[in-house]
Amino acid sequence: MKEQPFIRWDWIADHTDEIWARLLEHVQLTALAVGIGLLISLPLAVLAYRRRVFYPPLTWVTGILYTIPSLALFAILVPYTGATSRTTAEIGLVSYTLLILIRNIVAGLDGVAADVKEAARGMGYSPNQLLLRVEIPLALPAIAAGIRIATVTTIGLVTITALLGQGGLGYFILLGLNRVFTTATMLGAVLSALLAILVDRLLILAEQRLTPWSRARAA
C-alpha cells in the first residue's frame, strides 16, 4: 500500500479558499462572543463593584459556569438550542468570557489607588463622574488584560465548537480526527494556535498604547 506522506501540502494548496473562510468564521465567532460578553460584563461588574453584596453571587454563578468543562457545557446546551446552531456555540462562548471579564473589571476598579479616589471625591466629583473620569480610565489596563485573556481563551474554545458544526479552524481538526487525516488535523491545530498567539501579541501592543502615563518615569 502506498505510504501517505505526513503532511499533504497539495491538499492544503487546493483548499486555501476553505481555509480562509474558516479562519474568518473563527474570528467572527470570537469577536461576537467577546463583544457580547463585554456588553453584559461591564454593567454587571460596575454593579458588583459599587454594591459589594452582588459580588459573591455573581462570581459564584460565573465560577460554576467556568468550571463546567467546555465539552459538557456545549453538549448540555444542544437539546435546548439545537445541535448545529450558532446560538448554542455563542451562548457557551459568551458564558466563559463572563467570569474572566467580570473578575478583571472589578479587580481593575478595586486596584485604583485609594488616595486617588479620595482626592477626586474630596474635590467634588460625583460618583458617576468618579467612575467615568477616574476609576474606569485607571482600571483600563486591567480591563484590557481581561479582554485579551477572554479573547484568547475564546479562540481556543471556538475550536471545540467544531463539534457543534461551527468551529472555524476547529473544523479541520475534527475533519482530520474523524478521517484520520493528519494534514487536516495539523493544519487546524497549528493555524488556531498561530491565530491565538498573533491576537495575543496584537492585544498586548494595544494595551501598552492605552497607558502612556505608566511608562513615563521620573526624570
Residues numbered 29 to 68 that lie near another protein (CB under 8 A) are 63-64, 66-68
Q: Is 206 in the site for another protein (CB under 8 A)?
A: no
The site string for another protein over 131-150 (x = CB under 8 A, - otherwise) reads ---x--xx---x--xx--x-
List the one residue out of 174, 203, 208, 199 whose CA is nearest residue 29: 199
13/114 with CB nearer another protein: 114
CB atoms within 10 A of CB 141: 17
Chain Cα centroid distance, residue 209: 20
Give the count of residues interacting with another protein (CB under 8 A). Answer: 79
CB 48, min distance to another protein, A: 14
Residue 156, C-alpha cell as written in the block: 481556543
- Binding to another protein (CB under 8 A): which residues in 81-120? 82-83, 96, 99-100, 103-104, 107, 113, 115-120
| 193 burial type by CB count under 10 A (0-12 exposed, 13-18 middle, 19+ buried) | middle
> d(Cα 76, Cα 55) in Å, to the nearest integer?
27
The residue range among 10-18, 33-41, 50-58, 80-88 that interacts with another protein, by the rule CB under 8 A, is 80-88
